[in-house]
Amino acid sequence: MDIAGTIKTPAVNIESGRMQIAGRSILEDSSLFYSPLNELLEETANHSNRITRIDLGFEYLNGSSVRCLASMIRILEKVYDQGNNIVINWYYYADDESMYDVGKLLQSLTRIPFNIIMKD
């Protein structure tokens, strides 16, 4: 499944146990965009084709988007607590301290393995 990114929304790619979300997320009501993704994560949690790797890489996020990502992490944490393997990879560019800080914030909210990875 692919959702093309726009000026205000990130691109989403879901395939073979992996969800990738990347780009800009600057919606006024981010829940309209992220709610279907959260529902998908909840639906697939107990299936063999569940999503076990989340790759996140953003150019920019607004506060509403950060709250939606925190909600997504809470859903993933329930799945993780049921004994499912999940890893979250947060990608940021070396010169983007604000995206690094958002990654550290989200990492602090969860027990899920959460890697913060610098890109060149």
Q: Which domain holds residue 53?
A: 2-119
Which CATH number goes with the domain that contains 33? 3.30.750
Q: What is the CA radius of gyration of the chain?
A: 13
Please determine, for residue 46, whether its predicted confidence score (pLDDT) is greater than 80.
no
Question: CA 12 to CA 50: how far, in whole Å?
Answer: 16
Longest dimension (CA), the chain: 39
Q: What angle do CA 103, 83, 76 make, to 5 degrees?
A: 35
Instruction: Tell me what the pLDDT averaged over the chain comes to.
Output: 92
Q: Is the pTM of this model over 0.95?
A: no
List, for residues 49-96, the tens digit of each pLDDT value: 677 899 999 999 999 999 999 999 999 998 898 888 899 999 999 999
Residues in the chain: 120
Predicted pLDDT of residue 84: 85
**Considering its fold, how many domains does the chain have in total?**
1
**DSSP symbol at 59:** E
Predicted pLDDT of residue 49: 61
Question: CA 58 to CA 39: how far, in whole Å?
Answer: 21
